[in-house]
Structure 1
Amino acid sequence: MGSDVLRQQDPPYSSGELHVLAVDDSYVDRKVIERLLKISSFKVTVVESGTRALEYLGLDGQKKSSIGFESVKVNMIMTDYSMPGMTGYELLKKIKESSIFREIPVVIMSSENILTRIDRCLEEGAEEFLLKPVKLADVKRLKEVIVKGEGKESGGERESHKKRKRSEDCSELPSTPCSSVSCPCDPSSSSPSALSSKKYRLLAEVEQ
């Protein structure tokens, strides 16, 4: 198993340190999001699939996980949408069905800007839907959300907040054009080759 997957050998994080579980089948994307989160002072655990994420959380149906999920504390889960075996949407549904983890903010990431996909994830309870490549500003903003306790809103309040945000974003589209990698209302999407180049460039920048 790769060194970036389920890093059980990492030293314990302090009680005040925010812990993020990042899920992505792409090695490059895992390294990018891991570095961005660490720059923002998060404790990070990275896994390569939805199945491994469920195992880490102890939601894989087993009575006892070899990882020891009884002591797992996760403040936020960030997952890619398109993954083999289990999509980010399916992982989101599993988490929201859990009485233990359903209140944890789940952020969906994707390089494809598909409005029906975005709406479906938000309706299922996702905190946000980020378009790749994820930027440092995105991570810092998410940290502020956790620190301010917005992730602890009731389901109705959170859904209302998301709908307002979605409406505000879309209402600004005619007067405030934005790129497809930063605006969830733009129906177009960047080409895979362009996004790949950006991800590799970002990885090189954060490793410097």
Structure 2
Amino acid sequence: MKKRILILDDKETIAKVLSIYLRNDYDCVWLPDGVQGMKWLQEGNIPDLIITDIRMPEMRGDDFLNWIKSNELFKQIPVIILSSEDSTSERVRLLEEGAEDYIVKPFNPMELKIRIKKIID
């Protein structure tokens, strides 16, 4: 059975690109923001990994990261931040807050796939 990746990004095109590169190895689920991600998790869905953008409507990715890492049921799920924000202080802050990795957009899908494999395979 394929491992499941939850993709949180308000840009559907990013989710489609990720799904194209990952679908042979992983089952990808896309939701457009952190609030829907929270609801999906609370419905009993547990992915093996979450990829989230930072800038999203309703709930930002960094707020979602803080929520998930403070929740006993979900804090063990690895989170990769995939964002156009290329600030060293932002990367350091989110890695300290529990993100497994931080990748800047535009990104190399093959590099992302290798980073995912190192985390969950």
TM-score in terms of structure 2 length: 0.92
Alpha-carbon RMSD across the aligned residues, in angstroms, is 1.2
Whether 1:48 and 2:22 are equivalent positions in the alignment is: no
Question: How many Å separate the matches in 1 of 2:89 and 2:30?
Answer: 27
Aligned to 1:156: none
Aligned to 2:54: 81
Question: How many Å separate the matches in 2 of 1:29 and 1:79?
Answer: 11
Picking from 9, 12, 19, the partner of 1:34 is 19
Aligned to 1:90: 63
Question: How many Å separate the matches in 2 of 1:112 and 1:89?
Answer: 12
Question: How many Å separate the matches in 1 of 2:46 and 2:59?
Answer: 23
Greater CA radius of gyration, 1 or 2? 1
Number of equivalences:
120
Whether 1:57 and 2:41 are equivalent positions in the alignment is: yes
Picking from 109, 115, 121, the partner of 1:141 is 115
Aligned to 2:101: 128
Question: How many Å separate the matches in 1 of 2:50 and 2:119?
Answer: 13
Percent identity over the alignment is 32
Q: Which runs of 5+ in 2 are unaligned?
A: none
Question: How many Å separate the matches in 1 of 2:111 and 2:87?
Answer: 22
- 1:144: how far off? 2.7
CA offsets per residue over residues 121-179 of structure 1, 9 Å max, x none? 111000000011232222123113212xxxxxxxxxxxxxxxxxxxxxxxxxxxxxxxx
Question: How many Å separate the matches in 2 of 1:83 and 1:73?
Answer: 21
Local SS of the residue matching 2:23? helix
Q: From the two aligned structures, give the one with the greater strand fraction.
A: 2
Local SS of the residue matching 1:100? coil
Question: How many Å separate the matches in 2 of 1:127 and 1:25?
Answer: 21
Higher relative contact order (CA 8 A, sep 6+): 2
CA offsets per residue over residues 44-65 of structure 1, 9 Å max, x none? 110001111001001xxxxxxx
Runs of 4+ in 1 over 3 A off after TM superposition: none
> Which residue identity does 1:47 align to in structure 2?
L
CA offsets per residue over residues 106-125 of structure 1, 9 Å max, x none? 00011121112111111100
Whether 1:116 and 2:89 are equivalent positions in the alignment is: yes
> Which residue identity does 2:63 align to in structure 1?
E
> Which residue identity does 2:100 align to in structure 1?
E
When structure 1 is superposed on structure 2, of 41-50 and 127-136 the one drifting more is 127-136
TM-score in terms of structure 1 length: 0.55
> Which residue identity does 1:139 align to in structure 2?
K
